[in-house]
Structure 1
Amino acid sequence: MSPLHLYDDARARTFEPFALTRPAGELRAGALLVRQRWEQALALTAAGFVGAPHLASFEELDAPAASTDVLPARAIVANARFAPALAVADPDADVWACDGRVAAVRLREALPVDRLADGTLELEALADPQARTAPIRGWWMQEVWDYVGQLTTMLADDLPVIGPTLQPMYHGATVLGTHPVFVEAGAHVEPYVVLDASAGAIVIRREATVQAFTRVVGPCYVGQASLVTADKIAACAIGEVARVHGEISTSIVLGHSNKAHDGFVGHSYLGRWVNLGAGTTTSNLKNTYGTVALWTPAGVRDTGLQFLGTLFGDHAKTGIGLQLNTGTVLGAGANVYDRMPPKAVAPFAWGGAAPYDTYDVDKFVDVAARAMARRQVTLGARGAAQLRAAHARGTGR
């Protein structure tokens, strides 16, 4: 069986505020992580990832570790910016391509990981022109905002595939619309819940809880052991062990994050271990109805999207009542409160107004460990080392 390795190319390594703390394969795209999508498409379990050097100690849940030394001949290298559709691809191919670009390649010969170290090597350079090439359906993430921009399209494609694979249960909720609703055995749907499938399918995974007086609007995915409650949850991909209260729309919650109070969040992306203080509210539409500009490492750029809220980096935290402007980037580990922050907040910023102080690294790691322990996750030595490396890189210290 060929080992599968996900590759962060140079573009993927600019996908801030997430690239500082995680490889692109561990981002949620549509209902599932990119890694999970590749594993399903190729019927393989990922053996590792090739990413930026500061992620060498990355450790998280069931994620594979960074690949080292040499990738063996016949290993499959997949571009982590490509999110395959949830269908089995041709297992006998040596090259998989979409939209005229190579999405994955089976190596003809052993490949030193060092050749991929800076992300500039294109997979086309590794493909044998005589190799058997097969098409693979999916979505290229050309920019970091594409995860939000393509969310509803991907959910509409994902949920009718995921749903029938689950063991169903009777739920008793009021169901509207004609799209399918899939509630996995072991989920808890309380009375007075409305599952509105008028615009798309709904999937609620085992151990998830949907509390009374919640309206879940499809297409929507609620991950394992997550809690959603008391407002409208529309067109979202909510990962595992998340807490979501108050209105949220067209947003991705990577997992293990808290939006446990009132406050609107729209067209946004919450990384892992994010905590939003009560009343935190994002703007996702300009008063001019024009397209939204977003900070990137290459400068502020026009996204072409009319709707875009906030990208919250891993471990970011907001104070109560914080308001966030359209197209805000909140860096990993940032802890901001009181006044509306600028549209680009540096990683590990701390304070009530710009210019911010820098979050002390020892205090940050200690708080991260405590937050993770609340969800029965231990921050190990490797994970702590990676967070320290991210802090050093993000703060220039």
Structure 2
Amino acid sequence: MMFVLDDARARRFEPFSTSRPLSEMRVGALLQRQRWQQVLQTSVLGHISSPHLAGFEEFDAPPHHEGDVPAGAWLVNSRAVPTLLPALSSATVLIIEQQVAAVRLAAPVAQEQLHDPQFTLDDVLPGTGSMATIPGLWLEEVWDIVGQLQTLLLRDIPALVPALSARKLSQDGVTVLGDHGVFVADGATVEPHVVFDTTAGPVLLCQGASVQAFSRVVGPCFVGESSAILGGRVSGCSIGEVCRVHGEVSVTTFVGHANKGHDGFVGHSVLGRWVNLGAGTTTSNLKNTYGTVSLWTPDGLVDTGMQFLGTLFGDHAKTGIGLRLTTGCVVGTGANVYDSMPPKAVAPFSWGGSVPYAEFGVDKFVDMAERMMARRQVLLSDRPRRWWRTLHAVATADLRWPRR
């Protein structure tokens, strides 16, 4: 059994930490929880994160863990991103880049200790047992989800091909450039007149994924279950399950159940779950000066050191048709913005066409979320409905965000 911990740093990975633990973020091809389950060959029984995420509920995600973590369990730092290779079964401590990434606990760890901002896994190292250094990397900042995407896809896709029993695509009417290959799981479909460019990396289509005619897909690229590429150029992306993607999209992560179904450029960005981008929504991912991009964080505006960085869209964020977004933009959970270009940061549950934004009322938001989810045959049940109402109150009172 395993528990995944968001440390103090992970709990500031906005806009996503407003509404989900980092273990439920897609990093590379997989959710962090799925990645650690493959590495340790055991299931995650709970996530340990900010108190406002205690009611988080989503598909097969484990619940927020209350109480102590028992002896014998694995405790994992959610910012650690291991390569998809089985860990040494005899090891009790796993190291990535000289930092402790996971510990099999020799004694219980108290709930109060886990929520101490100063707590690290070094505090619970066992007195006996063996350490193993495994390949991987760390997310030091939220924008590393973008900055490390290509590196992770090049590692993840070859490991996932045999795990998914995917086969190499061999189909008339489809053009494959490069030597890395296109791999398709059972039930994936590719229409004629599609071009796959695997010069820089492979492409993997999961079960039920589809690529429509007149699409150009550039590897490394991962397309999750039942997601569809509907035309255009999709390059270097990780697309979670049940997404609709069209237009020009590059180096972008879709957590899952998100829609970019129309024209418009989205680059070096992250779309949380249930995001919908209106037709013609366009992100800027490069400054006219070609300098490094600054991004809003809970600690203020920070120079990311990255030359390419687009928009981070929180869960359930929505944009109107033709919206343009500035380089290094953060759109908070549940925000619905349209017309004028938003500022660098849009607070959660904002609504409107220009600053100052109104508040997206909780009743209106919940009704909208329920209707959108129903279109994908997902029911918003009573418990998550109550949680979203509680979260709305917490997020709209969060003084770290620029006020409307």
- Using the size of structure 2 for normalisation, the TM-score is 0.96
- Cα distance in 1 between the residues matched to 2:116 and 2:383: 22
- Cα distance in 2 between the residues matched to 1:6 and 1:48: 7
- Cα distance in 2 between the residues matched to 1:15 and 1:101: 19
Match of 1:137 in 2: 135
Structure scoring higher RCO (CA < 8 A, sep ≥ 6) equals 1
Between 1:126-135 and 1:16-25, the stretch displaced more is: 126-135
Is the 2:97–2:136 contact (alpha carbons within 8 Å) kept by the matching residues of 1? no
Structure 1 gaps of 5+ residues are none
> How many Å apart are 1:70 and its aligned residue?
2.3
- Cα distance in 2 between the residues matched to 1:280 and 1:100: 41
Match of 1:95 in 2: 93
Match of 1:27 in 2: 25
Helix, strand or coil at the partner of 2:46: strand
- Cα distance in 1 between the residues matched to 2:255 and 2:116: 26
> How many Å apart are 1:129 and its aligned residue?
4.3
Match of 2:2 in 1: 4
Provide, for residues 370-395 of structure 1, a one-character-per-residue CA deviation record: whole Å limited to 9, x for no partner.
Answer: 11111111112232233223211211
Amino acid at match of 1:194: V
Amino acid at match of 1:314: D
Helix, strand or coil at the partner of 1:286: coil
Is the 2:82–2:96 contact (alpha carbons within 8 Å) kept by the matching residues of 1? no
Match of 2:175 in 1: 174
Is the 1:50–1:113 contact (alpha carbons within 8 Å) kept by the matching residues of 2? no
Provide, for residues 141-191 of structure 1, a one-character-per-residue CA deviation record: whole Å limited to 9, x for no partner.
Answer: 000000000000110111111113324264442111011221111001001
Helix, strand or coil at the partner of 2:14: coil
Match of 2:340 in 1: 339
The 5-angstrom pairing of residues 250-269 of structure 1 reads: 250-269=251-270
Is the 1:349–1:359 contact (alpha carbons within 8 Å) kept by the matching residues of 2? yes
> How many Å apart are 1:130 and its aligned residue?
3.4
- Cα distance in 1 between the residues matched to 2:276 and 2:117: 32
Match of 1:304 in 2: 305
Provide, for residues 333-376 of structure 1, a one-character-per-residue CA deviation record: whole Å limited to 9, x for no partner.
Answer: 00000000101100100000001000101111111111111111
- Cα distance in 1 between the residues matched to 2:340 and 2:111: 45
Is the 1:171–1:183 contact (alpha carbons within 8 Å) kept by the matching residues of 2? no
Amino acid at match of 1:326: T
Amino acid at match of 1:56: A
Is the 2:97–2:137 contact (alpha carbons within 8 Å) kept by the matching residues of 1? no
Amino acid at match of 1:132: S
Structure 1 residues 119 and 23: alpha-carbon distance in aligned structure 2, compared to 1, 3 A threshold: farther
Match of 1:216 in 2: 217
Q: Over the residues paired in the alignment, what is the CA RMSD in angstroms? A: 1.2
Match of 1:73 in 2: 71
- Cα distance in 1 between the residues matched to 2:108 and 2:162: 39
- Cα distance in 2 between the residues matched to 1:11 and 1:139: 15
Match of 1:17 in 2: 15
Structure 1 residues 140 and 8: alpha-carbon distance in aligned structure 2, compared to 1, 3 A threshold: same
Q: Percent identity?
A: 55
1:388 aligns with 2:386: no
The 5-angstrom pairing of residues 121-270 of structure 1 reads: 121-165=119-163, 166-168=165-167, 170-172=170-172, 173-270=174-271
Helix, strand or coil at the partner of 1:128: coil
- Cα distance in 2 between the residues matched to 1:129 and 1:285: 49
- Cα distance in 2 between the residues matched to 1:70 and 1:184: 40
> How many Å apart are 1:101 and its aligned residue?
1.0
Match of 2:357 in 1: 356
- Cα distance in 2 between the residues matched to 1:320 and 1:116: 44
Provide, for residues 92-127 of structure 1, a one-character-per-residue CA deviation record: whole Å limited to 9, x for no partner.
Answer: 211111122110111111222232124431000000
The count of corresponding residues between Structure 1 and Structure 2 is 395
Is the 1:223–1:241 contact (alpha carbons within 8 Å) kept by the matching residues of 2? yes
Between 1:247-256 and 1:379-388, the stretch displaced more is: 379-388
TM superposition outliers: structure 1 runs of 4+ over 6 Å: none
Match of 1:375 in 2: 376
- Cα distance in 1 between the residues matched to 2:19 and 2:314: 8
1:329 aligns with 2:327: no
Structure 2 gaps of 5+ residues are 399-404
Helix, strand or coil at the partner of 2:301: strand
Is the 2:20–2:53 contact (alpha carbons within 8 Å) kept by the matching residues of 1? yes
- Cα distance in 2 between the residues matched to 1:287 and 1:301: 18
Is the 1:52–1:118 contact (alpha carbons within 8 Å) kept by the matching residues of 2? no
Match of 2:34 in 1: 36
Helix, strand or coil at the partner of 2:371: helix
Helix, strand or coil at the partner of 1:338: coil
Could you tell me which of 101, 114, 119 is aligned with 1:116? 114
Helix, strand or coil at the partner of 1:367: helix
Helix, strand or coil at the partner of 2:372: helix
Is the 1:81–1:141 contact (alpha carbons within 8 Å) kept by the matching residues of 2? yes
Helix, strand or coil at the partner of 1:393: helix
Amino acid at match of 2:279: A
Between 1:175-184 and 1:276-285, the stretch displaced more is: 175-184
Could you tell me which of 41, 46, 55 is aligned with 1:57? 55
Helix, strand or coil at the partner of 2:18: coil
- Cα distance in 2 between the residues matched to 1:20 and 1:133: 34
- Cα distance in 2 between the residues matched to 1:386 and 1:367: 15
The 5-angstrom pairing of residues 278-317 of structure 1 reads: 278-317=279-318
Is the 1:171–1:188 contact (alpha carbons within 8 Å) kept by the matching residues of 2? no
Between 1:117-126 and 1:262-271, the stretch displaced more is: 117-126
Match of 1:276 in 2: 277
Between 1:95-104 and 1:235-244, the stretch displaced more is: 95-104
- Cα distance in 1 between the residues matched to 2:280 and 2:166: 37
